[in-house]
Amino acid sequence: MDSSLQASVFAAVFAALYIAHSVGDHWVQTSHQAGTKGEPGWTGRIACAWHVLGLTVTKAVVLTPVILVLHLTVTVLGMTVGLALDAASHYWADRRTTLRRLAHRCNKTEFYSLGTPGHPKAPVTHKGAPAAHLGTGAYALDQSWHILWLGIAALLIAAL
């Protein structure tokens, strides 16, 4: 395949995966999965596996019409490898202890705790009570990890 055509496939696939990731991670994931997937033992593993399954199905459902409507040249091998690697990396990060350990090893422990009461500059109201905010460092690191692997998945889907 022509390299400019591969670049177009990569761009379209990445856009579709990014959209599907946001929908799958926030709309498809249940509250139970979100609250349980990081727990130790089989309870957490099963909740995380169901979340990743729903997320991967969402990605396939969003990606399929993009491929068909745009007549993208992708292979079953590329789709399988790309989505499987993305799913495995998502499961790894969403078990939580793994991503927290990686953040610690990369000297991101303080950023990881950003937005939580444990952070030295935790947001507070004028009365000193915890203040509402839009996110945490842990969430930002989680999402950036997922986006990295979306890019890798899109590259594999376009190249294989």
Which pLDDT tens digit goes with each residue over 16-53? 999 999 999 999 999 999 999 999 999 999 999 999 99
Res. 114: pLDDT tops 80 = no
Whether the Cβ atoms of residue 24 and residue 31 lie closer than 8 Å to each other: no
In which band, very low, low, confident or very high, does the pLDDT at 134 lie, cut at 50, 70 and 90? low
The C-alpha atoms of residue 101 and residue 93 are separated, in whole angstroms, by 10
Domain layout of the chain by residue ranges = 3-159
| pTM across the whole model | 0.85
The C-alpha atoms of residue 92 and residue 121 are separated, in whole angstroms, by 29
What rounded mean pLDDT belongs to the chain?
A: 90
Q: How many CB atoms lie within 10 A of CB 142?
A: 21
DSSP state at residue 131: P
* Whole-number pLDDT of residue 118: 67
